[in-house]
Amino acid sequence: MFSWRVFIISASAIFAAAWGLQRIELVYDGPALAGGVLPPLAIFMLAFLLALGLPKGSWLRLGKGEMLAVYLIVAAGLPLASTGLIHYLLPGLVTGFYSSFADEAGRYHSFLQHIPFWMVPDRDYPAAFSGFFEGGGPVPWDAWMQPLLSWSILVGAFCATAFGLAGLLKKRWIDEERLRFPLTELPLELLEQGGSLLRHRRMWLGAAVPALIYGINGIYHYFLVPGEIPLSFDFSTVLLDQPWRAMAPFTSRFVFYVSPLLIGLVYLMSLEVAFSTWFFFLFTRLQLLVAELIGRTDDHGAFIGLGGQWLEWPNFFPHLQAQARGGLLGVGLLSLWAGRRALKDLWRTTPGNTDAVRSFAGFFLGGLALVLWGWAAGLSPLLSLAYFIMMLVMLIGILRLRLDGGLPLIGLHFMVANVFYWIAGTGPGIFTGGEYVAFAFLSILTYSGLAALAMVQFEGLKMAEVLGMGSRRIGVLVGLGVGMGLLAGYWANLELIYEYGIFVLDQQGGARTVARLGRYFHYLYAEAGTRAGPADWDRLGGMGFGFILACGLSWLRLFFLRFPLHPLGFVYGTGLGALLWGSALLGWAIKLLVVRYGGAGTYRQLRPFFLGMILGELVLRVVWAFCATLGEVGGGYDWW
C-alpha cells in the first residue's frame, strides 16, 4: 500500500496544491478545493490518474492499494493547508498584537498578558505582526517557529486521539452495525472497478447536469451572458406579512437551494435520514412562527451572544442551534452506550491484540496530550478535562452523522466553551483571564475542519476492508498526510500573506472570512471576560430539548422498524437545514419514486448517474478554480 512512489506523488501533490490554493482562494477568491464534504482535489487526482490509462510499467501507474494511499494522504493533509485549519488559525495568532487590539486603553489589553508566549509569534519581532497585515516583506521565520511547533503538537494530539477512537469503534461501527459510509462510494467505485465508472454512459449523463448548470452560471459570472440558471428560491421574498415573515428571519434563512452534488449524496443515503432532514427543517420554521405568535422573538436569553454572528443563528428563542447541539450530544452518548460491550470485549483482548493496544494507547495518550495542552494554555486541569470530554462526545456524534448519514460535515462548527458559559455565566470572577483566553483559542479545534481527520481515518478503514486490504497502516497514512499538510500550509500561507498583506487580501481578494475570524478569537475572550451574564437557562433548555428528542427518536426506532423520523435527520435539519433541506427534499422524492416503482434493480442501474452528478460538480470546481487565476483579483466564481 505504501511505497516511496506514493510518498513522492503525495508530497508533490500537497506542496504544489498548497502553493496554488492560497492564490486561488485568497488572491482570486476562487472555489475552495481542499476541503468540503468530499475533497475535490483528492477525488480529481484519483479520477485523473485513472483516466490517463497509463500502460503497465509506467512510473505513474499505481496499484489499487497505492491509489488508496495517495487518496488518503491528500484527503487528510490538503484541507489543513487552507480552509480546514491554517486559514483560520494564523490570523488569530497575530491580530491581538496589532493596531487597536494592542491599545493599552482597550478592553483586549488586560487579556493579552494571559496568552502564553509559546502560543503566538515572538513579541520581540514587531515585523511579525505589522508585516502580516501590511505585507511587502519576508517571513520572519524565527518569530514563527515556536508557535507553529506548539500548534502542531495540538494537531498531532488530536490526530492520535482520532486514530485511537477509530480503532476502538471500528468493530462496532463497521463490522456489527455496518454503517452506510455513503461518502466512500464514489472513491470506492473509482478504485474497485479500475476506472470503469469513467466509461459508463450513465455516469457521463449525470456529470453533464452540473457541467451544464455551473458551466452556464460561470460564463454568466464572468461575461454576463447568456443568463444564470437559478438554483435557489428565497421565501423571504413572498413571506412579507406578519406573522408569516417570522418564518424567514435574516438570521435564519428560509431558502430552497439545490445542488447536484447534494442530490447525488442524498440518493446514496437512507430515506429516513433524507426525509427527516427536510421535515425537521420545516419544523424549525413552525417553531419560529409559534415564537412570533407568543411574543418570544425578542427574547435573546441571558447569554451575551458569543458566536451569534455565525454559529448561533437565529440568536433568539427557540434557540435552534442549541437544540441541534443537544441532539448531537445525544447521538454521541447513545453511540458510546450502544458500543459499550464491543469496547469491553476489545479491552479484554488487549494483552494479545496489538491492534487493540495501539488503539487504546493512541486514544488515551492523545487525549492526555490534549488535556495537558489545554492546561498549559490556561485552563485548570479539571476544566481542561471537562472541555475535551465534551469535545470528544460531540466528535463521536458528528462522526456518526457523516459516516451513517452522508450529508456534508467536516467539523463541529460549535464553540464548546459556550456550553460552559451557558451553565456558569460570564464576566469577571466566573473564569480566570487565562481560562477565557484558552477557551477562545481552543475554539479552532471545533470551528475548523480538524474533525475531518477522524472522518478520513474511519473512511480509510472502511475502504481498505471493502478493497480487501490491510488496515493497519491507515493511521500512518493519515498521520503522514497531516504532517505534509501542516508543513505545506505553514510555508505557502505565510509566504503569500507576508508578500501581499492580509489587508490587501481582505479588501481585494478572497480573505475576508479569514481576516474576520482572526479577530473573532479576541472578540471571544474580551466579550466573555468583561461582560457579566448569568447562566442561560433558555439555551440549556433548548439543548435539553434536542437531547431528549434525539434519544426519543432513537428509542422509537428500536421498536418500530419503519419509523420515518431519524435522530441524524433532526440534527441535520435543525442545525444545517438552511443549506441542506432543498436538496434533501428533491433527492428523497427521486429515491422514493425509484425504489417504490422500480425496485432495487432500478436503483442500482441509476446509481452511476448520481455518482456522475457528484463527480461532475467536483470537477467543475477544479475547472473554475483554474479559470479564476486568469481573471481579475477577487473575481473568482464560487457557488458553495
Give me the percent of the chain exceeding a pLDDT of 70.
95
Please give the pLDDT value at position 511: 72
- Residue 637 counted as domain residue: no
- Residue 639 counted as domain residue: no
- Residue 495 counted as domain residue: yes
Residues 6+ apart with CB under 8 A from 210: 260, 261, 613, 616, 617, 620
Among 608, 582, 581, which Cα is nearest to 208's? Answer: 608
- Residue 99 counted as domain residue: yes
Among 145, 31, 22, which Cα is nearest to 78's? Answer: 22
- Residue 634 counted as domain residue: no
Dihedral of CA 584/594/273/556: which sign? positive
Q: Is 81 within 8 Å of 449 (Cβ atoms)?
A: no
Place of cell 420545516: 282
- What is the H or E stretch that residue 256 is in? strand 255-257
Grid cell of 77 as nine digits:
493533509
Whole-prediction pTM: 0.93
Grid cell of 463 as nine digits:
475502504
Which structural domain range is residue 364 located in?
Answer: 4-628
- Residue 269 counted as domain residue: yes
Between CA 494 and CA 501 the distance in angstroms is: 10
Beta pairing partners, 256 = 233
- Residue 568 counted as domain residue: yes
Between CA 315 and CA 252 the distance in angstroms is: 9
Please give the pLDDT value at position 439: 94
**Which residues in the chain come in under a pLDDT of 50?**
307-310
Beta pairing partners, 431 = 428
Please give the pLDDT value at position 306: 53
- Residue 633 counted as domain residue: no
Total domains present in the chain? 1
Place of cell 441532539: 327
Please give the pLDDT value at position 380: 97
Query: 536-586: per-residue pLDDT in tens?
Result: 999 999 999 999 999 999 999 988 888 999 999 999 999 888 889 999 999
Residues 6+ apart with CB under 8 A from 342: 169, 171, 172, 176
Angle at 409 between CA 82 and CA 585, to 5 degrees: 130
Grid cell of 293 as nine digits:
405568535
DSSP state of 257: E
